[in-house]
Amino acid sequence: MSFDTLGLSAELLRAIGEQGYTEPTPIQRKAIPAILEGKDVMAGAQTGTGKTAGFTLPLLQRLNTKPIKNGRRPVRALVLTPTRELAAQVGASVETYGRHLPLKSAVIFGGVKINPQIEKLRRGVDILVATPGRLLDHVGQRTVDLSQIEILVLDEADRMLDMGFIHDIRKVLALLPENGVRQNLLFSATFSSEIKQLANRLLNRPELIEVARRNVAAEQIEQIVYPVDKLRKRELLSHLIGSRNWRQVLVFTRTKHGANRLAQQLGKDGLSAAAIHGNKSQGARTRALADFKNGEVRILVATDIAARGLDIDQLPHVVNYELPNVAEDYVHRIGRTGRAGNEGEAISLVCVDEQKLLRDIERLLKHEIPKQVLEGYEPDPRIQAEPIRNGRNGKGRSQPRKHTEGRNRSRSPVKKQPTNARRKPGSSGRLSGYGG
């Protein structure tokens, strides 16, 4: 199936062609016609499925069909995202797909100067991509008017709620014109009761679109667990990166402190690494990401929140240096690899303390992840599990949801598995579903 049949205009088809996309992804096939018809949409889709183009393309088309009155440019579409990085990426997509249209867009998020944003808004913007906090700063300063919004998109709504943005979202909703006039699109990887409540309030007879089974990891991602003692993880990671000659690896830690420390230690091992997390300035985050993308930095060490929404093309390796406390985050993490048709590998270094977290993840995935003990890195069977601590006070902001601290008391070390435990492409170790 090609893009031509979806009802998109010539300008948009041209921009799509320039991106080299030959056919729409499943979410695009379903979402584009529904949004073009003006329907509200509730879509279950993770990053990596092509969801951004799925809402950006029809949004651009709908805005472009209505002429600008008397040169006035009120903001007519608002996209809310949880993180600065995701806002920047969505903003870049709006620019890319809208390059042959006369529409103007702006991206606003915190951590950078507000004045250039004010200036841009003053000059007139059709599409605004924003994080909730900075958007409300602009509202407070009366530098943005949301009363003419025709299309509202909540992107990664589940993560926005996880990050505690529900009050900000409510405030923003109160500033928008009456529902019924407005088209509302909600994208979320998971559907908690909170998300359903928000959807009930916001959406008007929405079209429900689900492309990958909920919480199912992408089929292109090969997953493996290497059991290893906690104190030897860093050594094993350096060994894997060096001996397998990985050039671009995204590594997840549970805490900001852990991310910094690991990046420093890898640096001492002669491996170029940068850390990306919420305590870093926006400039430092953008720089680290750019260096990683252009190959100057080989390893990017990230916390869950910082990594959410990162779109790095063809990222071949994701390493869980520590398992996340929340099983869904595992799916988000490994979704950084194997994107849009590319193969990827997700490796987890799991120590005895993390057995409960691993079981939670396998329960969510509904299958076991193959395990392989690497020669020379066999876990010491005398080491017993200790409770997982989440940062110094157990309340790291990167894990705002429930965590399993203190409940992880598994005492059984992982059994040694034959080295062929790793499943080959196409075997049952691979999961079905497009997204991730």
Q: Based on the shown chain and the rule CB under 6 A, indicate whether residue 138 belongs to the binding site for ligand AMP.
A: no
| Residue 195 vs 315, nearer CB to ligand AMP | 315
49 touches ligand AMP by CB under 6 A? yes
Distance (Å, whole) CA 117 – CA 174: 22
Instruction: State the minimum distance, in angstroms, from the CB of residue 237 to ligand AMP.
Output: 26
Residues in the interface with ligand AMP (CB under 6 A) total: 15
For CA atoms 220, 226, 231, 233, the dihedral sign is: negative
Nearer to ligand AMP, 144 or 250 (CB): 250
* Cβ atoms < 10 Å from Cβ of 7: 13
Alpha-carbon distance values, 102 to 16, 45, 403 (Å): 16, 29, 47
Identify which of 164, 83, 95, 189 has the alpha carbon closest to the alpha carbon of residue 130.
Answer: 83
Does the protein bind ligand AMP through residue 52 (CB under 6 A)? yes
First to last CA, the chain: 22
Identity of the residue numbered 376: G
- Closest CB 16 distance from ligand AMP, rounded Å: 7
Q: Which amino acid is at 122?
A: R
Interface pick for ligand AMP out of 31, 47, 81, 108 (rule CB under 6 A): 47
Find the shortest distance in angstroms from Cβ 11 to ligand AMP.
Answer: 17
List binders of ligand AMP among 337-366 (CB under 6 A): 339-340
Taking CB under 6 A as the criterion, the residue among 156, 311, 329, 354 binding ligand AMP is 311
Order of all β-strands in the sheet with 105-108: 105-108, 127-130, 77-80, 151-154, 183-188, 41-44, 207-210
Residue 346 three-state SS? strand
Nearest approach, Cβ of residue 212 and ligand AMP (Å) = 11
Residues whose CB is less than 8 angstroms from the CB of residue 287 and which lie 6 or more positions away in sequence, other chains included: none
Examine residue 21 and tell whether it contacts ligand AMP (CB under 6 A).
Answer: yes
Options 19-27, 135-143, 222-230, 399-407: segment touching ligand AMP (CB under 6 A): 19-27
Q: How many CA atoms lie within 13 A of 275 on its CB side?
A: 21
Cβ neighbours for 92, distance < 8 A, ≥ 6 positions apart: none
Binding track, positions 313-332, relative to ligand AMP; x by CB under 6 A: x-------------------
Which of 29, 30, 31, 48 contacts ligand AMP by CB under 6 A?
A: 48
**Minimum CB separation from ligand AMP for residue 89, in Å?**
7
**Closest distance between ligand AMP and the C-beta of residue 275, in Å?**
23
Helix (H, G, I), strand (E, B) or coil at 356: helix
Quote the CA–CA distance of 95 and 178 in Å, as a whole number: 28
CB of 254 to ligand AMP, least distance (A): 24
Q: Which is nearer to ligand AMP, 21 or 377 (CB)?
A: 21
Q: How far is the C-alpha of 352 from the C-alpha of 429, rounded, in Å?
A: 23
Binding part of the chain for ligand AMP, among 50-58, 204-212, 315-323, 362-370 by CB under 6 A, reads: 50-58
> Residue 72 Cβ, how far from ligand AMP at the closest point, in Å?
31
The answer to the question of residue 53 lying near ligand AMP (CB under 6 A) is yes
Using alpha carbons, list the distances in angstroms from residue 180 to 30, 34, 176, 188, 372: 22, 16, 11, 22, 55
Name which of 50 and 433 has its Cβ closer to ligand AMP: 50
Neighbours of 118 (CB within 10 A): 15
Is residue 26 a contact point for ligand AMP (CB under 6 A)? Answer: no
Which residues bind to ligand AMP, rule: CB under 6 A? 21, 24-25, 28, 47-53, 311, 313, 339-340
